[in-house]
Structure 1
Amino acid sequence: MDNLSSSDLKSILHSKRANMFYLEYCRVMQKDGRVLYLTETKNENQYFNIPIANTTVLLLGNGTSITQAAMRMLAQAGVLVGFSGGGGTPLYMANDAEQPIEWFTPQSEYRPTEYLQGWMSFWFDDQKRLEVAKTFQQARLTFLQKIWSKDRELTQEGFNIKDSGLLQAFERFEQRTEEATKQSDLLLTEAQLTKYLYKFASNAVQLQDFKRQHQSTDKANDFLNHGNYLAYGLAASTLWVLGIPHGFAVMHGKTRRGALVFDVADLIKDTIVLPWAFICAKDNDTEQEFRQQVLQAFTDHKVLDFMFDTVKEVALSYHKKTPQNKKVKSS
C-alpha cells in the first residue's frame, strides 16, 4: 500500500467526528502514513490504528509516549492532545502546571475570526456577559429536558423527567437564573441544581449516602471525574475550531485561563455524564465500560453539534458585519 499523507485524508467536520481515545501503557507513533499505538506484551507487540481524520481528542494516560512525527500528523488532522493521569484524570498541564485545563492544540493560521470578534464585542461589557451566561444556563437546562425525555435507557433506570421534585428544581433554576444580577448568583444557582441532581440520581439507582468528592475513590465519583474530563475535551475542541481562547469565560470568572472550557462543558455534563456515572456505578462497570457508554451517548445525542451551535449562536448574535467596500472609480 502506498504511504498516505494527512493531506490525503477526507476532511470531517469536528462536530461530526465520532472518536475520543484514552490510551495508557503504549507508544504512539507514525508508521506508513498512519498514526498507530504500540502495546508491548510478554510474547508479542501489537499495533492498533488511530483514525485521526475522525477523532476529536486524544488523552494520553500513564505509561505513554508519543513521537514527533505522530504529533505532526495529529496536528494536521486537527486532533487535540492532552496528557492525563490514570483513568483520564486529572488532566496534566501541557503548558502551565498551575492551570486546571490545558491542551496541546493544533496550530493553524486559518482559524475563523468572526466568532472571536463576536465574542469580544460583548465580553468586556459586564451586563452583556451576564446575559450570555444566562443564555448558556437556559440552553443547558433545555438540553437536559430534551434528552432525558426521549432517552429510553435513562427512563428505564429511573430518570423520569416528569418527577415532581425534578420539575420543581427546574422551575427554581429558571426563576433564579432570570433574577440573577451577577455571575456569582448564577454559579450558586447552578451548584444548587447539580446538588439536587446528584441526590435525584443516587435515589434513582439506590446508591445510599452519596457525597460528591473529587478525590474520592468510590466508583460514582471516579466516573463523574472521568466523564467530566471527556466533556472538557469536547469543549476545548469546540473552542479551538471556532478560534475562541479559553480565557474568555462567561460563568467561571476572568481569572482562570481555562474557564470557558468549563462553561461549554457544563452545557452537557449534567445531561450525559451525571446519570451514566451513577448507573454504571450501580452496575459495577469497569472504567472502560463507563467510558464507552458515555462516548456512545455523546454520539447518539450529538453533543458536539449542540456545543458548536450554542457557542456559534451566541458569538454571531453579537458579531457586527462590516459593510462591503464600495468600488472606487479611478480618476
Structure 2
Amino acid sequence: MEDFSPSDLKAILHSKRANLFYLEYCRVMQKDGRVLYLTEDTKENLYFNIPIANTTVILLGNGTSITQAAMRMLAQAGVLVGFCCGGGTPLYMGCEIEWMTPQNEYRPTEYLQGWMGFWFDDEKRLDAAKHFQQARVAFLKQVWQKDRDLKNEGFNFDDKAIQTALDTFFTRTEAATNSQMLLLTEAQLTKVLYKYAANTTNCDGFKRQHQSSKSVDIGKANDFLNHGNYLAYGLAACTLWVLGIPHGFAVMHGKTRRGALVFDIAGLIKDALVLPWAFICAKENATEQEFRQQILQAFTDHKALDYMFEHVKQVAQRG
C-alpha cells in the first residue's frame, strides 16, 4: 500500500466506467489493498470485491456501514459515494467522498450569494485576495506578540529581518495587479520566515521540501510543515463547507483547482502557527503525534477557526 498511486486507478475515464453499486445490509471495508463488502450470514461471512477502478458511484442503503480506510481508497479512485434509503431513493447524502453535504433546500445561502456577488469581477476578486493577505500578517502579529511559548523559543515579531520583509510585503501587495504577483509576494515572505525559524531553532541548512530529507532535523521540519499545513487545510475546508461556499471559487490560487479556495483560507493561519511549531518540534525531536497535539492546541488557544470564519464572512458580506 505504500506505493499506491491514485493515478493507477484513473486509467478508465468516469464516462467509460461500467459500474454503479447499490448495497444494503453489509459492511464496506478495505482488505489487502482492495475495497470489499462483507455480508453476514448465520453460518459464514462472505466477502465480495468492488472493482473501484471501474466504478462510478456506490449507493449505501439500509443497514450499511463503511470504514475510514475504504473511504480513503474510494476517494483516491475518484468514486462517488452516496447514502440513501431502500432501493436507492431518496438520496440522503451525495458527495465527492471528502465532504458529505446535507441535501437541505432551506440551508441559508447569504455567504454564497455574497461571494458570487464579487467573484466574477477580476478587480473585486483581487481586492478580496489582498484582504486575506493583510489578515494573514495581522494574525501573525497577533499570535507572535501574544504567545509566551513562542517568545521563549526566540520568535520575535519585532525582529528587524521580519519587519523589513513585512515592509516589502505590504508595498508589493498593495501594488499587485493580479493574483500571480500576490502569490510571488507571499512566497517571498514565507521564505524569509522559513529562514528566520531555521536560524532561531538552529536548523542549519534547511530547505523546504515536500519529501523527507536524509537529515533528521531538516526532514522532521519538512514533515511537520506538511502535516500542519494539512490540518490547516482541514480547518479552512470546514469553514467554507459550513458557510456554503464551494472550494473552487478561489481568489488567489489557481481557479482551475477544485480546492484552491481552501489554500487561500488556510494561508490565514499557516505562517503564524504551523511554521514556528514545525521547527520547534523538529528541534525537540517530537513525534508526529506530539506535534499534532501541539498544533491542535495552538489552533484552539489562538482561535484559528474563529479567525477564518470572521474573515471569510467579512469578504462574503462585503461582496
Q: Please give the TM-score of this superposition, normalised by the length of structure 1.
A: 0.67
Q: Which structure: larger Rg?
A: 2
- Find out whether 1:181 has 2:177 as its counterpart: yes
Residue 204 of structure 1, CA deviation: 0.5
Counterpart in the other structure of 1:5: none
Measure the CA separation in 1 of the matches of 2:261 and 2:189.
20
- Whole-Å separation in 2 of the counterparts to 1:240 and 1:82: 19
SS at match of 2:102: coil
Give the C-alpha shift of residue 108 in structure 1.
3.5
Q: Which residues in structure 2 correspond to 1:142-161 (within 5 Å)?
A: 142-161=138-157
Q: CA deviation at 1:95?
A: 5.3
Tell me what 2:98 maps to: 103
> 1 CA distance for matches of 2:199 and 2:166?
18
Whether the 8 Å contact between 1:130 and 1:183 is mirrored in structure 2 is yes
Task: Give the 5 Å matches for 1:1-331.
Answer: 68-69=64-65, 83=72, 92=76, 103-109=98-104, 110-217=106-213, 218-318=219-319
Alpha-carbon contact 2:198-2:204 (below 8 Å) kept? yes
Percent identity at matched positions?
65
Q: Which amino acid in 2 is paired with 1:244?
A: I
CA separation of 1:92 and 1:210: change in aligned 2, threshold 3 A: farther
User: 1:193 and 1:236, CA in 2 relative to 1: closer, same or farther beyond 3 A?
Assistant: same
Any conservation in 2 of the 1:82–1:94 contact (CA below 8 Å)?
no
Work out the CA distance in 2 between the residues paired with 1:266 and 1:115: 20
CA distance in 2 between partners of 1:246 and 1:268 (Å): 18
Distance 1:214 1:281, change over 3 A: same
SS in 2 for 1:253: coil
SS in 1 for 2:177: coil
Q: Match of 2:202, SS?
A: coil
Structure 1 residues 155, 243: closer, same or farther in 2, change over 3 A? same
**Conserved 8 A contact 1:82-1:104:** no
- The one-letter code matched in structure 2 to 1:128 is K
How far apart, CA to CA, are the structure 1 residues paired with 2:78 and 2:298?
28
Determine helix, strand or coil for the equivalent of 1:111. coil
> Whole-Å Cα distance in 1 between the matches of residues 263 and 190 of structure 2?
14
- The CA deviation at 1:253 is 1.8
SS in 2 for 1:119: helix
Does the 8 Å CA contact 1:272/1:298 hold for their aligned counterparts? yes
| 1:190 CA displacement | 0.2
Counterpart of 1:294, as a letter, is: I
Structure 1 residue 104: Cα displacement: 2.5
User: Compared with structure 1, are the counterparts of its residues 184 and 216 closer, same or farther at alpha carbon in structure 2 (3 Å cutoff)?
Assistant: same
2: distance between equivalents of 1:93 and 1:302? 35
Q: CA deviation at 1:306?
A: 0.3
Q: Displacement, 1:68?
A: 4.5
Q: Secondary structure at the match of 1:241?
A: helix
Q: Tell me if the contact between 1:105 and 1:240 (Cα under 8 Å) persists in the aligned partners.
A: no
Q: Once superposed, what is the RMSD of the aligned Cα atoms?
A: 2.6
Q: Distance in 2 between the 1:28 and 1:277 partners?
A: 36
Q: Aligned in 2, Cα 1:82/1:137: closer, same or farther, shift over 3 Å?
A: farther
| Structure 1 CA distance for aligned equivalents of residues 144 and 100 of structure 2 | 33
Unaligned runs of 5+ in 1: 1-26, 30-66, 75-80, 85-90, 319-331
The structure showing larger relative contact order (alpha-carbon pairs under 8 Å, at least 6 residues apart) is: 1
User: Relative to 1, partners in 2 of residues 1:184 and 1:271: Cα closer, same or farther, differing over 3 Å?
Assistant: same
TM-score, normalised by the number of residues in structure 2: 0.70
User: Aligned pair count?
Assistant: 237
Measure, in 1, the Cα distance between the counterparts of 2:98 and 2:180.
Answer: 27
AA matched with 1:252 = H
Quick one: distance in 1 between partners of 2:130 and 2:71?
30
| 1:158-210 deviation line (CA, Å, top 9, x unaligned) | 10111011111111111110010111000000000001100000000000000
8 Å CA contact retained: 1:246, 1:257:
yes
